[in-house]
């Protein structure tokens, strides 16, 4: 198993046209001694050492109705809404494709047939239909993909991604994107001194604003598969929860999920039709 510092050096070196700095450090000397780096470049052995950390797939939670975006979502699911002539979900899928991830599953529900249009640009996409989307929260979508969630990025499909570099081929550990903030009324994480998530709740101080982009490694995926069944089937009101609550709230002590820092400028969160008009003036002109 690589240390985090070793991982960061190797994953950086694995980028196209990248090389390791000649700076003398004990970590780089050890990587060279182990045959993982040679002449400033990652070796085949180095790539093999990264393989356990390679993201295997991407899952898109896209079954919701997007009611706050009415009237535009009366005829179009929110992830398919175009912002400056680009579908919201495309910003996420394109980032995955750029990172070499083409095992992509979209969990659809509301106006599900509309998602077929994605096949034109992304013929490799797979769909899972959520028959519960009208009755239950998005925990029902995660429940349906519980057996493939390990080794996957999991996306809320209504996030307009600006910074594609956040989606990488390799991830060291399970994590959520989060922005440090003094106070927020939105969903946020509490963390310990190691940035491990200890709770998820709405509104907080000295916390991390939550973005719905996460990665679950294989171990976390197995834990989630067990725990989501318990929450979904046996917890009072369990079907009304968000899927993230399972390991970030109910089973936070048992899980090892960390915050990966980002900034508010990395994404655009569009939560209402007015906010859509602010981002794309063409909608204001139409209405």
Residue 264 sits in a domain of what CATH number? Answer: 3.90.550.10
Cα–Cα distances (Å) from 213 to 68, 194, 283, in that order, read: 20, 20, 27
The burial of 285, by beta-carbon neighbours within 10 Å (0-12 exposed, 13-18 middle, 19 or more buried), is given as exposed
Same-domain check for residues 107 and 218:
yes
Q: Is residue 117 part of a domain?
A: yes
Q: How many domains does the chain have?
A: 2
Tokens of 235: 């917890």
Which pLDDT score is estimated for 24?
65
Structural domain including 33 reads: 4-52
pLDDT band at 152, cuts 50/70/90? very high
Nearest to 175 by CA among 213, 201, 141: 213
Average pLDDT score, the chain: 95
Contact 198, 226 (CB under 8 A): no
For the stretch 221-240, pLDDT in tens is 999 999 999 999 988 899 99
Same-domain check for residues 145 and 21:
no
Cα–Cα distances (Å) from 70 to 64, 130, 212, 233, 286, in that order, read: 13, 21, 21, 32, 14
Same-domain check for residues 67 and 34:
no
Nearest to 259 by CA among 175, 168, 203, 171: 175
Same-domain check for residues 92 and 17:
no
Q: Is residue 287 part of a domain?
A: no
Q: Is residue 286 part of a domain?
A: no
Query: Terminus-to-terminus CA distance in the chain, angstroms?
Result: 56
Q: Is residue 206 part of a domain?
A: yes
Q: Is residue 103 part of a domain?
A: yes
- Indicate the pTM of the whole model: 0.95
Taking residues 20-25, report their average pLDDT: 72
């Amino acid at each position: 198993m690589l240390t985090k510092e070793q991982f960061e050096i190797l994953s950086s070196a694995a980028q196209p046209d990248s090389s390791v700095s000649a700076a003398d450090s004990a970590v780089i000397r050890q990587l060279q001694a182990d045959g993982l780096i040679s002449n400033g470049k990652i070796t085949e052995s180095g790539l093999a050492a990264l393989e356990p950390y390679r993201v295997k797939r991407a899952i898109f939670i896209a079954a919701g109705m997007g009611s706050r975006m009415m009237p535009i979502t009366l005829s179009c699911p929110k992830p398919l809404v175009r912002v400056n002539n680009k579908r919201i979900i495309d910003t996420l899928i394109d980032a995955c494709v750029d990172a070499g991830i083409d095992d992509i599953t979209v969990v659809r529900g509301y106006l599900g047939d509309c998602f077929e249009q994605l096949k034109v640009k992304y013929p490799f996409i797979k769909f899972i239909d959520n028959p519960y989307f009208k009755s239950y929260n998005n925990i029902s979508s995660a429940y349906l993909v519980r057996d493939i969630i390990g080794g996957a990025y999991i996306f809320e499909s209504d996030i307009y991604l600006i910074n594609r570099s956040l989606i990488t081929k390799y991830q060291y550990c399970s994590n959520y994107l989060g922005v440090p903030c003094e106070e927020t009324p939105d969903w946020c994480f509490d963390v310990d001194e190691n940035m491990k998530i200890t709770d998820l709740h709405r509104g907080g101080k000295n916390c991390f604003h939550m973005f719905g982009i996460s990665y679950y490694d294989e171990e976390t995926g197995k834990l989630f598969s067990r725990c989501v069944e318990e929450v979904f089937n046996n917890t009072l009101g369990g079907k009304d929860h968000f899927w993230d609550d399972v390991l970030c709230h109910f089973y936070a002590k048992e899980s090892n999920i960390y915050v990966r820092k980002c900034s508010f400028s990395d994404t655009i969160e569009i939560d209402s039709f007015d906010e859509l008009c602010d981002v794309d003036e063409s909608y204001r002109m139409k209405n």
